[in-house]
Structure 1
Amino acid sequence: MLTGIEEVDWASLGHAYGPADDVPELLRGLASDDPAERETALDGMYGAVHHQGDVYDSTLACIPFLLELVADPAVQDRGCIVELLTSIGGIELDDEEELDELDPEEEEFIPAANYAMAAAAIAAGADVFLGLAADPDPEVRLAAPCALASLHPEPARVLTLLRERLTVERDTEVRLALVAAVGRIALRHASLREETVDWLDWLARAAQDPGLRLAALAQRARCAPADIPDDVVPWVTRLLEEIRTSAQSPTATGNGREATPTLIGQVRELLEEHAAGRPAPWTEELLRTLHAALDDRVDDRIALILAQLRSPDWGQRSDAIWLCGGLIRAWRGRYDDVVRLVGAQLHDPEPRLREAAASFLERLFELGAPATDSLVVRLGTGPGTSGTGPGAPGTEGGTGGTEAGHGAHAFVGRTGRDAALLALARAGDTRAVPLLARALTEPEVRRELLYAVDGLGPSAAMLAPLLRLRLADVELDERLYDQAAPLLYALAAVRGGQALPEVLRVLRGAPPNRRDWVREAALRTLAAFGPAAREAVPELRELLAEESAAVSTAAARALWAAEGDLADVLPALERWLRPGTSSADWCAAAQAIGEIGPMAAAEAPALRPGLASRDPWVRVRSAAALWRVSGEVSASLPVLLAAWEENRHARVDIAECLAEMGPAAAEAQVVILTELTRRRRHNAREGACGSHDIHLDEKLLTLCRAALARMERGAF
């Protein structure tokens, strides 16, 4: 085994962490009889030799040995090695066309060439995967279909083999992998797509196994998304119910393998935990595929999620929550019923379902309103209480009963409680205020809870004394910013002017580490205090001259708020509106000037050069400020509308300005109407999301509606 491994000059090759002289040991580890050693070796292969999907010269040198390992039935865990090979060889370029367009001297040439060589090398030995489709090891059979569909150079031959194997395979998950591989071939090879879609359509209707029918339907939708049947929701709902009622015993936890201190080991344990106790955990991936195919058919996707949330199977309800998380982050829609049903899951005895529900709700902000009653009931539940309340598991009403009470103890642990409280506060529900007050008396407070105070209105003023006490206890050391910034933000939100001595203590005692960040945060809080911060005026005047624009402009804002005198404030701000100023500094000054409004009209000439900046944010901040100080629509509006199309992330700020302009911004009506009719969120990103993305998009919609209403009123 591994013949010739010593003949390779591994030290001359490289991987993510330098010379590849440790690779022979990793390859031998993959063939070890010790499961922990095999997993550690596999982790090393992914961590160094195939780091984050990269292909190095050492990766290429490994391919013959990896193919040799998967061909040897004496090697255990070969399914994992097949998956590794599939990942190495399955990175799809526009192949020769893209490689031909690259100059060999360009930095991108070598990685692209390595990907192409890896694909070619594995394709040359891909016949080894043909035999693995019937391997006695189900883990090998599970990995082989994707490898064949991704890497074998004869897709028609593979397609025939996959369909034949489906007639004799008895393992459920392997059968699903065979169907998924068929769909993959159809997507990659247009010449085979029509016949494959027809076969998948037949299988979705004719197969006896409901799981197989669901898999075929999902792949059919994936391959022909424009031809998804109109009755897909009731069709899938019936299949899910059939799967539930015919399912075998729940999946057991783990496989008897000891834990290893590796990333792969951790992922394996998480997947095992996720599947434990569920008779058909594989339905989640099938539904994910189906949702991706449905794409902008938001109403159908919502209907499917609602059906799942009403299922007696907690696993299906959990899947629905995670699937809806992806849907609601990317698409606008009517989610009230979904949110209400997700809130009902907070009373379920299954802790994983409660955790999923709380995690989902904490990202919704104002869209979480339909679940606030459920959140309040759950936050009031603890040891010794019944845990009853509206919304029993899988229903839209009723009580959680004794089972919900039995699970309460786990939920009201720190993590679950904080998530539910954060969701309630972000929804703007004032019932969160006394609960936040209780949280502020505990040794540790989740920082996001403090940043959620600003949505609770005047009722949150009662938190000021507690916030003041906590700020007084913060040490003036290198951790000051992390400890103080959330408290300062919350004090600004509640206008807690009585905490002025504590805020000044932080401002004066800021250590060198992130000193400007600390001072800026403190100054923003002083600005929120307004005249209550008069005692700080002498220090604020001194800070106007700081070399940090963030500190200087924050001091100018605070000084203006404290005494209303612009004699020193405007010159301090104008010095950042000069040639050579960085974009961030210009934006900070322009925004501060805009907040002052017409009293800063003298700064209009200083703002105008920013309208022609190459940086779109400078243009937006300058145009908005120019409008606010001078009312010049003719100069500001065209800049704002151009930036609307250029930088979608600036739309919230632009819409806020358009709403202020009212009838004067009538030229923007079409832009606003277009935004209001879009289904996709303006800040939706593939493969990435932020905790405030939904909130920012909903804020944009609210501002657009306000702007449109003001424009229309002005038209009559």
Structure 2
Amino acid sequence: MRSPAELDQVQWHDLTHAHGPAEDVPELIRALHGDDAEAVDEAIQELYGTIHHQGTVYPASAPAVPFLAHAVLHVPGRRDELLMLLAVLADHDPQDTGSPHWAGRPVAAICAELARLLPQLLPCLADPARAVRRAALRVVAAVADLLPAEVRAAAERRVDELYATDPVPAVRADALGVLARLGRETEALDSPLPEVRLAAALLAAERSGPPYEKRWVDVLAEDGAEPDPGDDGFPWAGVTSPEDRLTHLLTRDVDAGLTAAGRWIAAGDLGSRGSRLGRQIAETWRDREPEVLDLMLAALPHQRDARGRAECLTTIGHWIERLPEPGADLRDTLHRHARSDDESAAPALLALARSRDPRALELVLRTPRPDTLRAAASSCPGAADRLIPEIRRTLASGATGNEAVDLIGALTGFGAAARQAQPELLDCLRTRRAAVVAARQIGLNGVVTPEITALLHEATHSTDPSLRAAAALAHHRLTGEAAPALRVFEALLTARGPVHWHLSGLQPLGGAAEPLLPLIEPLLTARYEWTRMAAAEAHHTVTGSPERALPVLAGLIGPTPVGLSALKALAAIGRVPEELRPVLRSFAVSPLRLLPAMPFSDVHPDEELRTLARSLLASH
């Protein structure tokens, strides 16, 4: 260990941390030993942002370890926080230590320092404060795989003593986990302590992987229902909290996860553990929406406040469209909550509208909001005569941002009836409120007047590139004139910065965009994959020939956002290279979601991926 008096012996100016030269590290370490509690708080926070930053460590991190270890023993009021800092600095994947590059990594130097100093830190395992004992266990776990035999044996004796005698069950449970990291497996499923049984089942399931044995699942479901009553639970490597570790484990085995979530909800959904696990399962596994929505329905009565109810109702609203026929119990519950006067009413009404329940329309019109109007427009396209006036009124009242986008999006499914809102759309374009989507809808409406074409022409000179493109395409749709659009897109495709958004917008021009081919063709080999994808799509749009586009798109296919876009482009071309069929089959049959949800997207990307894959496999 090294005291603050030795800080100047380190050439900190030659070392770096997250924000550059590490010259400020000595001052932060000295502050740990001061009497100003606020300054100590700030120093610890700064150390988490410099020598450790979002899971990354730096050349200055290892030299700080002996000073931090000294502070652990000499700043007793902050012992647990400093031990945790040492533990997270040393976090690593044990598999990495066999890599030929391990020795040169900053984390290897940190682990070497901490392993050397560990014998002096082991007495912290006997500290009177449970938080310190738990943090000390976390330090041992961080370097358990790298300890010399003698140090490992001493650490195991100390940890074993805690496991056998500590008066706090949570400490014993942590000790069981550390013993496992030290290489000793201990059967504890029959322990009288729920915390220890839970830790034992979790360790057994982690070692085996899914599917988990029923006896482990029974313990996880029974003893995992209640959060750790202590407020000093520490995250282990790779997770942000002990609860996240358990949720991650159960999410890997969907049947085990659904069983545990159901039991936790039946036990009162304490801390929203069951409903949270259900939400994670829906985001991870395909076709489990019916079970998850049943869980959310069961969890609703256990929520202790409107926020908890709103979270359950939001989950229902997110997935209810995946049910072919939402049950009457579910819809009645949504209807009841939609008529409440707290914050749960809004997500309940949105879910009710998405459930295609006819009662939703009256409630939407009684308390109209842009998102519920859009949901009602999608589920009740025959109600245009009632919805469009309300959409027009809300737009005319000055809706902006995402609210205006939702309102204009609601018009899309109404076809020619959307023309009724032309005055409001023109005002949005004129006042630059959601002007990009307003311009697109104006182009789709098919109404041509001198005022409309003049407004669109004026918008093609906007400082907003997206608006220039949307206005140019709408102008082309309405007038058939290609020259203004070609002028706009030539400028956009030669400007600095990303061009893939603009390439993707060329489809309405079709062959009229042929003069832009000299700008498009070089982008087929661009370094940025989104640019290559959009260039291939645009090349096929303009030429009608798939020969240049196919190899580019085929090389991008994968379970990624750009891979999904490439798959959409292949579907539009109507040809799929034979070598892609195994990949498409994996997209079609995977029980796991291959793509996560995207914000502000009406369709889950994974559903698009699966649907496209199935369609292409069936047609070729």
Shared fold by TM > 0.5? yes
CA distance in 2, matches of 1:644, 1:38: 51
Post-superposition CA distance 1:100-154 (Å, at most 9, x none): 66xxxxxxxxxx54x4443333332212332222222111112121111213624
> In structure 2, do the counterparts of structure 1 residues 75 and 223 end up closer, same or farther at CA, with 3 Å as the change threshold?
same
CA distance in 2, matches of 1:100, 1:243: 39
Query: In the TM superposition, what are the counterparts of 1:216-227 in structure 2 within 5 Å?
Result: 216-225=200-209
Shift of 1:304: 4.2
CA distance in 1, matches of 2:287, 2:48: 40
CA distance in 2, matches of 1:4, 1:652: 55
Query: In the TM superposition, what are the counterparts of 1:152-301 in structure 2 within 5 Å?
Result: 153-154=147-148, 156-157=152-153, 158-185=155-182, 192=183, 196=184, 199-200=185-186, 202-204=187-189, 206-225=190-209, 232-233=213-214, 235-237=216-218, 240-241=221-222, 251=229, 284=243, 287-288=246-247, 290-291=249-250, 295=252, 297-301=253-257
| 8 Å Cα contact 2:281-2:292 kept in structure 1 | no
CA distance in 2, matches of 1:641, 1:2: 58
Which residue in the other structure is 1:76 paired with?
Answer: 77
| 8 Å Cα contact 2:205-2:212 kept in structure 1 | no
Q: Does 1:591 align with 2:493?
A: no
Which residue in the other structure is 1:612 paired with?
Answer: 524
Which residue in the other structure is 2:610 paired with?
Answer: 701
Q: Does 1:648 align with 2:560?
A: yes
| 8 Å Cα contact 1:5-1:24 kept in structure 2 | no
Which residue in the other structure is 1:467 paired with?
Answer: 391
> In structure 2, do the counterparts of structure 1 residues 660 and 162 end up closer, same or farther at CA, with 3 Å as the change threshold?
same
Query: In the TM superposition, what are the counterparts of 1:669-684 in structure 2 within 5 Å?
Result: 669-684=581-596
| 8 Å Cα contact 1:453-1:493 kept in structure 2 | no
State the secondary structure of the residue aligned to 1:521. Answer: helix
Q: Does 1:575 align with 2:530?
A: no
CA distance in 2, matches of 1:332, 1:533: 48
> In structure 2, do the counterparts of structure 1 residues 88 and 312 end up closer, same or farther at CA, with 3 Å as the change threshold?
closer
Post-superposition CA distance 1:372-397 (Å, at most 9, x none): 756654454369x8xxxxxxxxxxxx
Q: 1:358 aligns with which of 302, 313, 317?
A: 313
Stretch of structure 1 that moved more, 78-87 or 160-169 = 160-169
Which residues of structure 2 form unaligned runs of 5+? 236-240
> In structure 2, do the counterparts of structure 1 residues 616 and 323 end up closer, same or farther at CA, with 3 Å as the change threshold?
same
> In structure 2, do the counterparts of structure 1 residues 183 and 99 end up closer, same or farther at CA, with 3 Å as the change threshold?
closer
> In structure 2, do the counterparts of structure 1 residues 217 and 544 end up closer, same or farther at CA, with 3 Å as the change threshold?
same
> In structure 2, do the counterparts of structure 1 residues 46 and 571 end up closer, same or farther at CA, with 3 Å as the change threshold?
closer
Q: What amino acid maps onto 1:643 in structure 2?
A: L
> In structure 2, do the counterparts of structure 1 residues 5 and 429 end up closer, same or farther at CA, with 3 Å as the change threshold?
farther
| 8 Å Cα contact 2:459-2:468 kept in structure 1 | yes
CA distance in 1, matches of 2:242, 2:387: 46
CA distance in 2, matches of 1:530, 1:488: 16
Post-superposition CA distance 1:330-376 (Å, at most 9, x none): 33343312222213323335236524423433543633677675665
CA distance in 1, matches of 2:5, 2:378: 63
Which residue in the other structure is 2:238 paired with?
Answer: none
| 8 Å Cα contact 1:544-1:556 kept in structure 2 | yes
| 8 Å Cα contact 1:577-1:606 kept in structure 2 | no
CA distance in 2, matches of 1:583, 1:472: 35
| 8 Å Cα contact 2:198-2:223 kept in structure 1 | no
State the secondary structure of the residue aligned to 1:126. Answer: helix
State the secondary structure of the residue aligned to 1:360. Answer: helix
Which residue in the other structure is 2:142 paired with?
Answer: 150
> In structure 2, do the counterparts of structure 1 residues 342 and 371 end up closer, same or farther at CA, with 3 Å as the change threshold?
farther
> In structure 2, do the counterparts of structure 1 residues 704 and 71 end up closer, same or farther at CA, with 3 Å as the change threshold?
same
Q: 1:98 aligns with which of 101, 104, 109?
A: 101
| 8 Å Cα contact 1:528-1:561 kept in structure 2 | yes
Query: In the TM superposition, what are the counterparts of 1:19-30 in structure 2 within 5 Å?
Result: 20=24, 23=28, 26-28=31-33
Post-superposition CA distance 1:410-457 (Å, at most 9, x none): xx523x3333344445666665444443443xxxx6x76677567435
Identical positions, percent? 24
Which residues of structure 1 form unaligned runs of 5+? 102-111, 186-191, 256-266, 272-281, 386-407, 511-516, 712-716
| 8 Å Cα contact 1:166-1:175 kept in structure 2 | yes
> In structure 2, do the counterparts of structure 1 residues 233 and 425 end up closer, same or farther at CA, with 3 Å as the change threshold?
farther
Q: What amino acid maps onto 2:191 in structure 1?
A: A
Shift of 1:180: 2.3
Shift of 1:554: 1.1
Q: Does 1:413 align with 2:342?
A: yes
Give the TM-score taking structure 2 as reference length: 0.78
| 8 Å Cα contact 1:472-1:502 kept in structure 2 | yes
| 8 Å Cα contact 1:556-1:569 kept in structure 2 | yes
> In structure 2, do the counterparts of structure 1 residues 57 and 658 end up closer, same or farther at CA, with 3 Å as the change threshold?
closer
> In structure 2, do the counterparts of structure 1 residues 47 and 419 end up closer, same or farther at CA, with 3 Å as the change threshold?
farther
Stretch of structure 1 that moved more, 327-336 or 47-56 = 47-56
CA distance in 2, matches of 1:80, 1:533: 69
CA distance in 1, matches of 2:463, 2:248: 54
> In structure 2, do the counterparts of structure 1 residues 285 and 505 end up closer, same or farther at CA, with 3 Å as the change threshold?
closer
State the secondary structure of the residue aligned to 1:539. Answer: helix
| 8 Å Cα contact 2:444-2:474 kept in structure 1 | yes
Q: What amino acid maps onto 1:347 in structure 2?
A: P
Give the TM-score taking structure 1 as reference length: 0.69
Of structures 1 and 2, the one scoring higher in RCO (CA 8 A, sep 6+) is: 1
Q: What amino acid maps onto 1:341 in structure 2?
A: L
| 8 Å Cα contact 1:365-1:695 kept in structure 2 | no
State the secondary structure of the residue aligned to 1:575. Answer: helix
Shift of 1:698: 0.9
> In structure 2, do the counterparts of structure 1 residues 144 and 91 end up closer, same or farther at CA, with 3 Å as the change threshold?
same
